[in-house]
Amino acid sequence: VFLKKSNPLWSLFQKTGIVVFDADDISNLSFKEFAAPLTAEQVKSNIRNLSAEFSEERRLADLSKIINN
């Protein structure tokens, strides 16, 4: 995934260890570099971190904090 650093998801993904790439770097990449897939470990890590960050349990906990404040 390529995102601009100004995108709010950039800092969230960086904080949670999700591998993303800077969209501003696309013009400096060769097609081979642009199209190169993540390693198997990076894919597993992204799935694990995304699942934890956006799980139903997490959403309910965050919603509870908002409602109870």
Task: Indicate whether 17 pLDDT > 90.
Answer: yes
pLDDT band at 28; cut points 50, 70, 90: very high
d(CA 49, CA 16): 7
- pLDDT attached to residue 54: 87
6 touches 23 (CB < 8 A):
no
- pLDDT attached to residue 69: 76
d(CA 11, CA 43): 19
Query: What is the three-class DSSP state of 30?
Result: coil
Give the pTM: 0.73
Share of the chain above pLDDT 90, in %: 75
2 touches 26 (CB < 8 A):
yes
- pLDDT attached to residue 8: 94
21 forms beta bridges with 2
